[in-house]
Amino acid sequence: MLRRFLLPRDHPAATAPAPAAGQDGETDDGPTVRRIVAELEAMPHDRARYLAGFAYILGRAAFADLDVSDVENAEMVQIMVEQGGLTEPQAVLVVEIARTAARLIGATEDFLVTRSWSAAATEEQRLAVLRCCFLVGAADDSVSAEENATIKEIANELDIDDRRLNQIREEFHDRLSAVQAIRRQREQNAQS
């Protein structure tokens, strides 16, 4: 059911019926996901697809370390309110779809979803979602190596060159875990 908004319309998985509970590791979508889909179906299809893809990409960055913390979740909700123009209840639902999709779909379709979203997005939108990925990663004050690597993959799939990626990454320099580790090591060496 979620794939209908995340994948291109002509992709077979976008129109395939949802598997029954337990099939392929998926479970019943439950009332929360049904509400998410209803919220998205009430929007124009292109808008719903844009927001679902935006949220999915954020969820992908958050799930890079195989966990989405409460602080990352809250950051994604805030971003969807501010950047997506959603109400808070709508943002909570859209973020839930992203978290569910990141967990259920995961790496299987990350490239396809990101490239499809990118093809319909402007350069400004692509740069905005990349900056938001760093915001989500930095929500706990540290962008892990896994998050940084995933954001690099996302940048490649968004056709954002290394120069632009590095400009955005520089905004988060002090929150990169590698930089923080070097500083801790220097402080320990200075104290010795």
Query: CB atoms < 10 A from the CB of 190, how many?
Result: 7
- What is the reported pTM? 0.79
Query: CB atoms < 10 A from the CB of 112, how many?
Result: 18
Q: What's residue 10's pLDDT?
A: 62
**pLDDT digit string, tens, across residues 18-30:** 444 444 444 445 5
**pLDDT digit string, tens, across residues 133-163:** 999 999 999 999 999 999 999 999 999 999 9
The DSSP line for 10-76 is TSHHHHSPPPPTTGGG----HHHHHHHHHHHHTS-HHHHHHHHHHHHHHHHHHGGGS---HHHHHHH
